[in-house]
């Protein structure tokens, strides 16, 4: 029998993920904080629920959590726009509701920001040295979910998420200067985000951590210059010569699931 799956947060990743999983034969519930988005979810055959999690509790249609085998947490921390937000405390509320509704399996979309600005090849065993508030809170969330006995949680540390309508070159083009020209990129295409999650849920979820970064690591200068030309926007202006050359490895996921990345050349985003 197919798993009944809840996608918590039907945004840039969550919505196409929910649509894809629906086509694979899973029963899908999707949550949103926007009333205007309910009709969109419904039109895509995703069971829609208006739901918001805060550090103080969960408001809205809590029946989203009824009769689910697995929840995928696809909510971004959102700390750049709201630095005082407590995403870690939101996950405390989430953990408790999972226990209350007897939900056993969780996939948590984390980020490679937990590694901070270290140089060298980085694996899941590398030290976690986050510099951002977001990275620090994500570590707390990871630890909370992994160490909750009632849950089996797999953590996916995604690289920078990109796709046709989302690419960092647009922000970089508007900056006066961009640092670290010789550092490597650590990105992943939306297509691989979705296929990795689909691959994962075909098995029983267990406590584990995986890096999810496309094994394609040209320098920032080379890659973003090429992408700017491709998109027809202003080339980023790089400065400085010192470089933090971080290359995050996804070899563990590739090995455990015999996975082959679908979009290996990130110059091609279609």
Residues facing residue 152 across a β-bridge = 105
**Domain boundaries 4-162+187-215+247-257, CATH class:** alpha beta
What residues does each domain of the chain span?
4-162+187-215+247-257
Residue pLDDT, tens place only, 39-91: 999 999 999 999 999 999 999 999 999 999 999 999 988 867 787 889 999 99
The percentage of residues in the chain with a pLDDT greater than 70, rounded to a whole number, is 98
Is the CB of residue 128 less than 8 Å from the CB of residue 137? no
pLDDT (0 to 100) of residue 254: 98
> Taking the model in full, what pTM does it have?
0.95
Query: In the predicted model, is pLDDT for residue 270 greater than 70?
Result: no
Q: With b meaning 16 or more CB within 10 Å and e meaning fewer, what string describes 155-176?
A: bbbbbbbbbeeebbbeebbeee
The SS3 assignment for 207 reads coil
For the chain, the helix, strand and coil percentages under 3-state DSSP, each to the nearest 5: 35, 25, 45
Residue pLDDT, tens place only, 165-192: 888 888 888 887 888 999 999 999 999 9
Pairwise CA distance, residues 207 & 197, whole Å: 15
Query: In the predicted model, is pLDDT for residue 34 greater than 80?
Result: yes
The percentage of residues in the chain with a pLDDT greater than 90, rounded to a whole number, is 82
**In the chain, which ranges are continuous DSSP H helix?**
14-23, 38-43, 87-100, 133-146, 169-173, 190-201, 220-231, 251-257
Pairwise CA distance, residues 238 & 176, whole Å: 9
């Amino acid at each position: 029998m197919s798993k009944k799956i809840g996608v918590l947060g039907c945004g840039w990743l969550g919505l196409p993920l929910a649509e894809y999983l629906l086509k694979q034969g899973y029963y899908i519930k999707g949550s949103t904080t926007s009333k205007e988005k309910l009709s969109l979810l419904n039109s895509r055959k995703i069971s829609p629920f208006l739901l918001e999690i805060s550090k103080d509790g969960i408001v809205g249609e809590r029946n989203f959590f009824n009769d689910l085998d697995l929840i995928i947490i696809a909510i971004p921390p959102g700390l750049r726009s709201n630095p005082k937000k407590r995403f870690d405390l939101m996950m405390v509320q989430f953990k408790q509701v999972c226990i209350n509704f007897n939900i056993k399996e969780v996939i948590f979309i984390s980020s490679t920001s937990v590694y901070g600005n270290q140089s060298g090849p980085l694996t899941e065993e590398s030290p976690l040295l986050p510099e951002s508030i977001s990275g620090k809170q994500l570590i707390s969330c990871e630890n909370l979910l992994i160490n909750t006995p009632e849950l089996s949680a797999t953590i996916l540390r995604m690289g920078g998420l990109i796709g046709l309508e989302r690419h960092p070159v647009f922000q970089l083009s508007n900056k006066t200067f961009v640092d670290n020209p010789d550092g490597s990129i650590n990105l992943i295409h939306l297509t691989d985000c979705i296929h990795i999650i689909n691959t994962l849920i075909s098995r029983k979820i267990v406590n584990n951590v995986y890096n999810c970064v496309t094994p394609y690591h040209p320098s920032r200068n080379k890659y973003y210059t090429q992408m700017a030309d491709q998109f027809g926007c202003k080339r980023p202006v790089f400065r400085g010569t010192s470089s933090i050359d971080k290359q995050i490895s996804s070899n563990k996921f590739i090995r455990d699931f015999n996975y082959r990345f679908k979009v290996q050349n990130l110059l091609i985003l279609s």
